[in-house]
Amino acid sequence: MDKKRKNVPEVSLEDQRREQIIAAVVDCVSHEGLEKTTIRNVANRAGISPGLLNYYFKDKKGLVTEAIASATNAVGHLVDMSGFPLGARRLELILKRYLRDGYPGSLPLTFWLQLQAAGSMDPDLGQQVRLWKEDGLTKTRRSIEAAIAEGHFRSGLDVTLLGTLVYAAMTGLAAEIAVSPDLVSPDDAVEAAMLLLGLLATGGDPGTANAGPAARSTTPDIVDAQVISDPRLTPAAAAALSSAFRAMYATFADREV
């Protein structure tokens, strides 16, 4: 029992306080906007005094900067795709999970929307917003390149423009869900995103809901579609389950009956 406890890293009271404050910042920005997010409001949501909050963060700018950094790191861990190869399936997984807010513990879409709006008026904040946007665009373009190389997407397409289109579609649909959920539901948004990927697919079937590979579905492809649509699975778990099934399927499929 003692050995197990020694292997578990201890979280200091200061780290717990910081996490508590960051959570309060995210909540404030999501529901009230950055303009109305004040030291006092954050302190009230965190259940601490403004004086104690000032001990950790000198001003609102430092508070928001830390929140963005922590939020970005958190998203990086939540969207760990290291076990899922670049390509059409990866794009499909990201789009479905993002638009359905399906990453366990993920930040509200309204938080990111508020930051983007505020970033257009504040150069420093805008630079931070730009950095995580550039990261998202780069990863989207890399998956499109892989999908073209694998023959899942049409060849001869401009990867830079396509990456911009797919990324803008994802963030734009997310904004519609957050602002007007009665007009655009998460399911509607996912269907629209899958339609876009279907138009890029080899064969160009606009009715395809599973982006390219599903147009010529094999048993592993069908299992993939189910796995990546399951909100109970993290991306890493979905990737591991998909890979394990493919390996097992290949083993049995290669055997002589």
For the chain, 257 residues long, the average pLDDT of each consecutive 10-residue run is 50 81 88 87 91 85 77 58 73 82 63 82 82 86 92 91 93 88 89 91 54 53 71 71 79 67
- Cα gap 240→244, rounded to integer Å: 6
- Cα gap 6→84, rounded to integer Å: 33
Q: Indicate the domain borders of the chain.
A: 83-227
> What does the angle CA 34 – CA 96 – CA 241 come to, to the nearest 5 degrees?
125
Tell me which H or E stretch contains 14. Answer: helix 13-32
Could you read off the pLDDT of 96-118 as tens digits, one per residue?
878 876 554 556 778 878 888 88
Evaluate whether 177 touches 185 at the Cβ level (below 8 Å).
yes
The per-residue pLDDT for 59 is 83
The per-residue pLDDT for 16 is 85
Evaluate whether 126 touches 103 at the Cβ level (below 8 Å).
no
The per-residue pLDDT for 216 is 44
Q: Taking phi first (over 0 means left), then psi (-120 to 50 degrees means alpha), and beta for anything else, what does residue 198 get?
A: alpha
pTM above 0.75, yes or no: no
Mean of the per-residue pLDDT values of the chain: 78
Evaluate whether 189 touches 174 at the Cβ level (below 8 Å).
yes
DSSP state of 232: T
Largest CA distance in the chain: 74
**In the block, residue with structure tokens 């000198």:** 58
Query: Is domain 83-227 classified as CATH 1.10.357?
Result: yes
